[in-house]
Amino acid sequence: MPHPDTEKRQFVRFSRLNRILHAAMIVSFLSLALTGMTLKFSYTGWAAFLSHLLGGFETAGYIHRAAAVVMFSTFIAHLWDLARLKKEKYGTWRVLLFGPNTMLPTRRDLSEFGATLKWFVGLGPRPRYGRWTYWEKFDYFAVFWGIAIIGFTGLTLWFPVFFTRFLPGWIINVATIIHSDEALLATGFIFTVHFFNTHLRPEKFPMDVTIFTGYMPLAELERDKPREYEALVAAGKLEENLIDPYPAIVVRTIRAFARTALTLGFSIVVLIIYAMLFAYR
């Protein structure tokens, strides 16, 4: 029998900094997507309306660049956090990068991916996932890829004169295409695949707030991450990772923020789909 209080207590999955960074990422990403998409689909009615609402395309541009700075900062802060973790918790990069809770893809992820496909069509049991599932790792590295590609091309478009001092002029034209279509891919991915993975999976539907509160009901950990749960129990470390849930008012506020972000994301997807279906040029 678990501790009587364990029923109420929750498992700490994300640190405070991680949650803050994710929230900053949400705010900046939504701002970037909204201001970017109004430019990309400027020929649609909704884009003209939204841009008008944001104060015109020039103002939207300022918002876009400001949000980009926030996102770069988030990214750098995360890298700094990794360095800190290495020093304070893991000791060496080797443990951080190749330990049991690694973010890097492993052979096990490949086999779990295969097993998951089998489970999808009813040919096997659901794999017993660990702390990070293969789709969570994919989502994580998709951000690295996106920041590198969209970030670099975005900088060339922001400072074209500087970059063309040592790069040929066609770089600007190519960067425009890459920035625009890679951004479409990123928004499409985040607002459909990432949203589905985290919020629309039947066991999480309609919303998973773990990334916002940082805490996860213990039963959920046991069900969704059985391997991590068992490892913690075996090491006797479960207890030290449990915490009392936030007061109701805090949870309500957090949920309101999450709901707003989700609604905005889904709305942008609907607008993009509309533009792609009936107005695409």
Kindly list the residues in this chain that would bind other proteins in the complex (CB under 8 A): 202, 205-207, 255, 259, 277-278, 280
Q: Nearer Cβ to other proteins, position 141 or 205?
A: 205
Q: Nearer Cβ to other proteins, position 119 or 152?
A: 119
Q: Which residues contact 25 (CB under 8 A, 6 or more apart)?
A: 71, 74, 143
Q: Nearer Cβ to other proteins, position 52 or 259?
A: 259
Q: How far is the CB of 255 from other proteins (least distance, A)?
A: 8
Burial of 128 (0-12, 13-18, 19+ CB in 10 A): middle
Q: How far is the CB of 104 from other proteins (least distance, A)?
A: 31
The C-alpha atoms of residue 22 and residue 103 are separated, in whole angstroms, by 16
Q: How far is the CB of 213 from other proteins (least distance, A)?
A: 15
**CB 244, CB 10: distance < 8 Å:** yes
Q: Nearer Cβ to other proteins, position 70 or 207?
A: 207
Residue 208: phi, psi to the nearest 5?
Answer: -110, 120
Q: Nearer Cβ to other proteins, position 202 or 236?
A: 202
Angle, helices 16-40 vs 170-188, to 10°: value is 120
Q: How far is the CB of 206 from other proteins (least distance, A)?
A: 5
Taking CA atoms, 269 is separated from 37, 216, 227, 240, in Å, by 10, 28, 35, 41
Q: How far is the CB of 44 from other proteins (least distance, A)?
A: 13
Q: How far is the CB of 262 from other proteins (least distance, A)?
A: 10
Q: Nearer Cβ to other proteins, position 123 or 277?
A: 277
DSSP code of 122? T
Taking CA atoms, 99 is separated from 35, 85, 128, 129, in Å, by 40, 13, 18, 15
**Which of 137, 89, 92 has its CA nearest to residue 112?**
137
